[in-house]
A and B are shown apart, each in its own frame.
Chain A
Amino acid sequence: MNNAFWHRLDRATRHVAPFVITVMLVVLNAIPLPVPDYRSIVPLVPLMAIYYWALYRPDLMPIGAVFLVGVLEDVLTGAPLGLNALLFLLVHSLVRSRRRMIAGKGFAVAWVVFMLVILGAGIVSWLVASLLYDAPIRMEPAVIQLTLTLVLYPCLAWLLIRVQRAFLANA
Chain B
Amino acid sequence: MRYRAGSIIRFATPVRAAAQRFAFLALLFLSAGMIILGRADAQFAERVRTTITDGFAPVLDALSRPAATVRDMIDYVHQLAALRVENDRLREENERLRGWQQIARDLEAESNSLRSMLNYVPPSSRQFVSARVISDSSTAYVRSVIVNVGDDQGVRKGQAAVDGSGLAGRVTEVGHRSARVLLLTDINSRIPIIIESTRYPAILMGDNSERPKLRFLPVEASPQPGDRIVTSGHGGIFPPGLPVGVVATVATGEVRILPYVNFDRLEYLRLVDFGTDAPLPSVTARTPARP
Contact = CB atoms under 8 A, between A and B. Distances in A.
Secondary structure call for the A interface: helix
B144 A38 contact: no
Contacts of A83: 31, 35
B89 to A, nearest CB: 22
A125 B139 CA distance: 11
Contact of B187 (A27, A90, A133): A133
Nearest to B35: A82
Interface in B17-72: 20, 23-24, 27-28, 30-35, 38-39, 45, 48-49, 52-53, 56, 59-60, 63-64, 67-68, 70-71
A154 interface: no
Contacts of B227: none
A90 B146 CA distance: 28
B120 to A, nearest CB: 41
B111 to A, nearest CB: 40
A93 B139 contact: no
Given A38-B136, A40-B140, A67-B31, A27 B56 contact: yes
Nearest to B67: A31
A70 B27 CA distance: 11
A78 B146 CA distance: 9
A39 B141 contact: no
Given A63-B23, A80-B39, A138-B209, A72 B52 contact: yes
A70 B31 contact: yes
Interface residues of B, number: 54
Given A30-B136, A138-B208, A78 B34 contact: no
A: interface residue count bin: 35 or more
B52 A71 contact: yes
B39 A132 contact: yes
A78 B266 CA distance: 17
A89 B135 CA distance: 25
A120 to B, nearest CB: 15
Contacts of B32: 82, 86
A170 B288 CA distance: 86
Contact of A27 (B34, B35, B59, B145): B59
Interface of A: 27-28, 30-42, 63-64, 66-67, 70-72, 75-83, 85-86, 89-90, 93, 125-126, 128-129, 132-133, 135, 137-138, 141-142, 145
